Amino acid sequence: MGDLREAYELRRVQFLTPLAKELEEALHKDFDAIDRIDRIVARAKTVDSFMKKAAKEERGIKKYDDPLNQIQDQVGARIVSYYLDDIERIQEVVFRYYRHIEERTVVPDSESEFGYFGKHFILLLPKDLINGPVGPEGYPNFFELQIKTLFQHAWGEANHDLGYKPAWEWESEDKRQIAFASAQAWGADMVFNGLHRKCGQATEL
Amino acid sequence: MINHIFSFLVHPGKGYEDPPEIGGTTVPSAGKLFQMVGDVFDRSDHECNTEIAFVPTEDGQQHNECRGEIIDLLQKPRISNARQLADRLQKATDGRSGLGLLFIVTGEQNRKSKILLARFPADFGVLAEENQKTLQVQFLERVFMKHALSYKAAIFSGTSFDVDFWDGYVVDRQLSGSASYWIKDFLLSDFRTTPEAGTRRLAEAMHSVVNSTSDGNVRSEILAAVRLAPNMDGQPITVEMFCERFNLSGPAREAIVRALRHDTLQHDRFQFCGNEFQRTLPFRSIELNNNGILTAPTNHFEEIFEMEKVSGSENIRFMTEGKVINDGFRKRK
């Protein structure tokens, strides 16, 4: 694991961090004419986050036998929109300029649960951003893009931060509160999106 | 290093209720045919120069059926797995393409697994055999030639069967209009660069050159090409091909290539998109030495402003007519 950490650290410095910066600039250009976007950010996955993912197991077996190659979100980007309806508009622009190999709407497992909501893509990195070798010792071939509303993003960030607190065991009441907060965020999205639509219809009239 | 070679005689089958059987065989690892196919395998990295990417299924999962069959074959190199690809090619091939000989070659190169799919079209030829004083000539049907215009090939390589093999390279000299049956229908893929991304890259390079060059000839050439470019809508093109198509001079081509992020992008193929070209270069603007500025949509500029040279001077006279819909002040040009 020591070798892997060192290899990822090197890749992150040499390729991933500069690439994330260029990708963020590229995305800003792609969405320059699109309104109701709160922010566009891109980042290289931190070393700790990469190592945690590389060590993941599924049914007792390591999920990744070649993590430098297999982990597809070593560079990640996020676009945060105002309203739910904006997500589809943003997706149209994404598909205009990027080739995707995966598109997922991430929702809780059942309709009676609340948790993480977001739209995720695995996209091929555009050739304009690749000026060197592609592979574990160079550029990745893919990046992950998430599209979220402000409320989805707020819940996601707050919940993610809590997940990194050491020596904390969730009690069922804690989990219920987190789900409640997600439901509130979901409700706020519904309210604002509905009002936005009403405004839009009124403007058209 | 080649591990396996499979070969299939693929008749057209697209739209057929009962397509002909596909005969297939494993090619032995020695002999002239093995050597010939080996050469094709080794040279394929140079020949296959159009980058493509598999298109995922509509449910958004990270899955493509053709890619899946390629991975199956690489993991289990059996003729039954290779035949899946031959079946797929048959279903994508109509009568216009005719009979083809498909070679599927698996092997390793640069420490990666590699697969080559190569389709040789059927042609006819003449076999000439000479004895000491005589010559025998024989008409041959079903001669399969690599040099034909309709030769097609695709290569994919990688180390991980989970995440690699999503993009590859093809050679298809018959590309026209939207990507061919080889790319779209057989390989279930498309050019790696989207139409909008490639077109925008070209348009921005031209914009950058026109706005920065002091060479009047280069500027004129590129402006002329911009005017005619919308006629390219839907055609597969590279920056290099675009410059050739519009007969741009050496300095103009070099300036456009220099304006790209890196010069290898001039060979990247995409489908030209007229709408994106217009979106990137919506307005053309001419500023005169009398501080006058003329601005109009790029694709209608010369319809809106008539131009004529003023005799005996370097000046140009512009003429236009229309109804005034806005007349006011601006803080900037």
Residues sharing a CB contact under 8 Å with residue B199, sequence separation 6 or more, in sequence order: B270, B272, B273, B276, B277, B280
The backbone region for B165, taken as left when phi is positive above 0, alpha when psi lies in -120 to 50, beta otherwise, is left
Are the beta carbons of B53 and A99 separated by less than 8 Å? yes
pLDDT for the residue B175: 67
Distance between CA atoms of A28 and A42, rounded to whole angstroms? 10
Interface size between A and B, measured as CB pairs under 8 A: 67
Interface subset of A 56-85, CB within 8 angstroms of B: 66, 69-70, 72
Distance between CA atoms of B45 and B39, rounded to whole angstroms? 11
Among the partner residues B54, B163, B265, nearest to A128 by beta-carbon distance: B265
Are the beta carbons of B53 and A69 separated by less than 8 Å? no
- How close A154 comes to chain B (CA, Å)? 26
- How close A102 comes to chain B (CA, Å)? 5
Q: Is A18 on the interface with B (CB under 8 A)?
A: no
- How close B269 comes to chain A (CA, Å)? 11
Among candidate residues A69, A26, A67, A18, the one with its CA nearest the CA of residue A44? A18
- B51 CB neighbours in chain A (<8 A) are 127
Are the beta carbons of B190 and A99 separated by less than 8 Å? yes
Q: Is A116 on the interface with B (CB under 8 A)?
A: no
Distance between CA atoms of A53 and A64, rounded to whole angstroms? 9
- A96 CB neighbours in chain B (<8 A) are 194, 196-197, 276
**What letter represents residue B188's amino acid?**
L
Mean pLDDT value across residues B145-174? 87
pTM comes to: 0.90
* B64 pLDDT above the threshold of 70: yes
Among the partner residues A70, A96, A124, nearest to B162 by beta-carbon distance: A70
pLDDT for the residue A44: 97
Distances (CA, A) of A4 to A63, B193, B320: 15, 32, 68
Rg of chain A taking only CA atoms, in angstroms: 19
pLDDT tens-digit profile of B102-117? 999 999 988 899 999 9
User: Chain B: residue nearest A121 by CA?
Assistant: B60
pLDDT tens-digit profile of B215-259? 999 999 999 999 899 889 999 999 999 999 999 999 999 999 999
- B265 CB neighbours in chain A (<8 A) are 127-128
* B284 pLDDT above the threshold of 70: yes
* B178 pLDDT above the threshold of 50: no
pLDDT for the residue B146: 66
Among candidate residues B204, B192, B142, the one with its CA nearest the CA of residue B166? B192
pLDDT for the residue B176: 62
Distance between CA atoms of A122 and A101, rounded to whole angstroms? 6
For B254-258, B271-275, B278-282, B297-301, which range has the lowest pLDDT when averaged over its residues?
B297-301
**To probe the interface with B, which of A96, A103, A141 has the most B CB atoms within 10 Å?**
A96
Distance between CA atoms of A24 and A86, rounded to whole angstroms? 19
Percent composition of chain A: helix, strand, coil (DSSP 3-state, to 5): 50, 20, 30
Are the beta carbons of A66 and B160 separated by less than 8 Å? yes
Among candidate residues B189, B186, B160, the one with its CA nearest the CA of residue B269? B189
pLDDT for the residue B16: 87
Are the beta carbons of B194 and A97 separated by less than 8 Å? yes
Total Cβ atoms within 10 A of residue A19: 23
**Contact yes or no for B152/B119 (Cβ under 8 A):** yes
Are the beta carbons of A101 and B54 separated by less than 8 Å? yes
User: Chain A: residue nearest B202 by CA?
Assistant: A128
Q: Which residues pair with B5 in a beta bridge?
A: B105
Q: Between the CA atoms of B274, B279, B281 and B287, what dihedral angle is there, to the nearest 10 degrees?
A: 130
pLDDT for the residue A19: 97
Interface of B with A (CB under 8 A): 51, 53-54, 56, 60-62, 159-160, 162-164, 166-167, 190, 192-194, 196-197, 200-201, 261-262, 265, 268, 276
pLDDT for the residue A205: 47
**Contact yes or no for B104/B85 (Cβ under 8 A):** yes
pLDDT for the residue B140: 73
Encode chain A (205 residues) as per-residue pLDDT tens digits: 679 999 999 999 999 999 999 999 999 999 999 999 999 999 999 999 999 999 999 889 999 989 999 999 999 999 999 999 999 999 999 999 999 999 999 999 898 899 999 999 999 999 999 988 888 889 999 999 999 999 999 999 999 888 656 556 788 898 899 999 999 999 999 999 999 999 987 655 4
